[in-house]
A and B are shown apart, each in its own frame.
Chain A
C-alpha cells in the first residue's frame, strides 16, 4: 500500500480468458424483471470448487 494509493483489488480479469468459459455457472438474467441484471455478481462454480 502506498502513501497516495491503496489498492483494493489486484488485477484478475484478463487471466480468466484461458481455460475458462466452462458454462457451469448459473444463468444471469440481464433484465430488470428478474433478479440478476449483472453478470459480475455471479459465482464461478469452477473457482468455488477449487477453493473447497
Chain B
C-alpha cells in the first residue's frame, strides 16, 4: 500500500508498511497508484503517453522497480493485518486528577469546567499516595513510570502535588525506578514560587494558552467572564524566562471560531515561545464552536500555511518545535507501540480525587468505564482486555488507512463519545490527523536536508 500526497506543491509517496518516504516528480506521480504492481510495463508506458516519451517512462519505471526490490515501495505488511498483544497487566503511567475544580471556566472545557460532571473537590494526600503505591506495585519490570498531575486545575492542590512528588521520588528510588512528573496547568497560579518549585524539581509543564488575545479570551475565561490572557501570558513568560531549561509545551486549542489557527501558533512563536502545540477542540457537534466537516478545506489549507511559515522561519534561523509536525522519519517508536497507541485502559489509567480508576482522563465520569480503585486495582478485567485489543487491526477503517502506523487508531474516548464504540474512530479526527501527518512528513523531509529547497 502506498499513499500519494502533496503539500505546498511538493509531491510525496509514502510506502505505508515500511515507512519509506519519497519525493517524486510528475512522471512517477502519474505512474504510481495502488494498482501499479498489477499493470504490465506496456500499460504503464501507455499511461504516460503522450506527455512523457517511452524511454523516459522506462527510466522512471526502473527507479520504481529498484525501490520495490529494496522493500521501499509496495512492501508487505509483516503482520498480515492481525496482531495479538501480549497478556500484560502492567501499569506505567497515571493521570492523577488532583483537582475536580478549576479557577477558570473555559467555554469549551470537556471536563465540565473542572468538575467532570461530579462533585467539585481536591484529591486528598492519602489518595494520591495510594495511587503512587498502586503504580509502583503495578509497573512490573518497567524502570520508567509517569505521573501527570491533571484536573481541573492541579495547582489548586499544590501542597498535595509537592507532597506526592517527594513521596513518589522516594518510593521509586527505593525500588530502582525513575518516576517522571508532568503538570498540565492553565498557569493562573503559576507564581514565581510555584514556578521555581516546578523547575527545581524537574517537573515537565504543559501550559494552556490558545494564541492571540481575542481567541484566548473568548474561551478561556474566569468564572466572572473576564479573559485570562494577560495574566496567563505574564505568568508563563516570567516562568520560562527564569527557567529556560524547563521541559515545557505551550498547549492551545483551536475551534470553529479561529479556523485561521496558524495565526495563533505564530503569535505564540512571536511571544518568544519555541515549543508549541495547538490542537482541534474536542466538542459535541451541537456546540457552535465545534469543528464541522465543511471546515475541512480551511483547516487543511491552514496546516499547509503553517508548515510553509515554519519552514520559512527555520530558514531564517528560528526553528519552532510545533508538536504535531514533530515526527522521527528515521526511527521513532517501535511497531508494537505504533499498533497499540496510547495504552489507555491498560498501561495508562486515570485516577479521580476519590481514587477511582478510569481508562483515561476523558473517560472519567462515564460510569460504564469505571475500572476499579487504587486500593483494589483494576476490577473490570473485561474492560481492560477490550482496551488492550483495541489496536489498529481491530479498529474500523484503520487497517485500510495509510496513517495507521503514525496515528495508532486515534483516541478511544473520542471514538466512544461520537460513535459509542472505542473500535469506531471519530471520522473528523481521522481527517485532521491525516492532513497533519502529511504536513509533518513535508516539514521533516525539508528538515532532513537543513531546510534547503528540494530543487527542480
Name A's B-contacting residues (CB within 8 A): 2-14, 16-17, 20-21, 23-47
Distance A12 CA – B146 CA, assembled complex (angstroms): 28
Distance A13 CA – B335 CA, assembled complex (angstroms): 7
From the candidates A33, A35, A39, name the one contacting B341 in the complex (CB within 8 A): A39
B334 touches A32 (CB 8 A): no
Distance A8 CA – B136 CA, assembled complex (angstroms): 42
Q: How far is the CB of A22 from chain B (nearest CB, A)?
A: 8
B18 touches A38 (CB 8 A): no
Kindly report which residue of chain B lies nearest to residue A48, judged by CB atoms: B331
In the bound complex, residues from chain A placing their C-beta under 8 Å from that of B150 are 34
Distance A12 CA – B150 CA, assembled complex (angstroms): 35
Name B's A-contacting residues (CB within 8 A): 12-13, 15, 17-25, 27-28, 59-60, 63-64, 66-67, 70-72, 75, 77-79, 86, 90, 92-93, 110, 142-144, 146, 148, 150, 180, 184, 206, 249, 251, 253, 277, 279-282, 323-324, 326-338, 341-344, 347-348, 360-362, 405-414, 429, 433, 436-437, 440, 445, 448, 454
From the candidates A16, A33, A43, A46, name the one contacting B110 in the complex (CB within 8 A): A33
In the bound complex, residues from chain B placing their C-beta under 8 Å from that of A31 are 282, 342, 360-362, 411, 413-414
In the bound complex, residues from chain B placing their C-beta under 8 Å from that of A33 are 110, 253, 279, 282, 361-362
B277 touches A38 (CB 8 A): no
B361 touches A34 (CB 8 A): yes
A5 touches B22 (CB 8 A): yes
From the candidates A4, A11, A20, A38, name the one contacting B24 in the complex (CB within 8 A): A4
From the candidates A4, A35, A39, A47, name the one contacting B249 in the complex (CB within 8 A): A35
In the bound complex, residues from chain A placing their C-beta under 8 Å from that of B148 are 34
Most A C-beta atoms less than 10 A away, residue of B323, B324, B332, B410: B332
From the candidates B18, B24, B93, B332, name the one contacting A41 in the complex (CB within 8 A): B332
Most B C-beta atoms less than 10 A away, residue of A20, A37, A38, A44: A38
> A5 with B24: in contact, given A12-B331, A27-B348, A34-B184 (CB under 8 Å)?
yes
A44 touches B332 (CB 8 A): yes
Distance A28 CA – B411 CA, assembled complex (angstroms): 10
Q: How far is the CB of B370 from chain A (nearest CB, A)?
A: 19
Given contacts A9-B445, A12-B331, list 6 more A-B pairs with CB under 8 A: A5-B63, A14-B75, A21-B336, A25-B144, A30-B342, A38-B324
B336 touches A8 (CB 8 A): no
> A40 with B335: in contact, given A2-B63, A23-B90, A27-B342 (CB under 8 Å)?
no
Kindly report which residue of chain B lies nearest to residue A21, judged by CB atoms: B336
A24 touches B144 (CB 8 A): yes
A32 touches B63 (CB 8 A): no
> A4 with B28: in contact, given A21-B337, A31-B360 (CB under 8 Å)?
yes
Distance A40 CA – B410 CA, assembled complex (angstroms): 12
The 4 A-B residue pairs with the shortest CB-CB distance in the complex, in nearest-first order: A21-B336, A20-B334, A11-B18, A13-B19
Distance A42 CA – B92 CA, assembled complex (angstroms): 16
In the bound complex, residues from chain B placing their C-beta under 8 Å from that of A34 are 148, 150, 184, 206, 251, 361
> A27 with B146: in contact, given A8-B23, A11-B20 (CB under 8 Å)?
yes
> A40 with B437: in contact, given A4-B27, A9-B329 (CB under 8 Å)?
yes
Q: How far is the CB of B63 from chain A (nearest CB, A)?
A: 4
Distance A7 CA – B67 CA, assembled complex (angstroms): 9
B18 touches A30 (CB 8 A): no
In the bound complex, residues from chain A placing their C-beta under 8 Å from that of B329 are 8-9
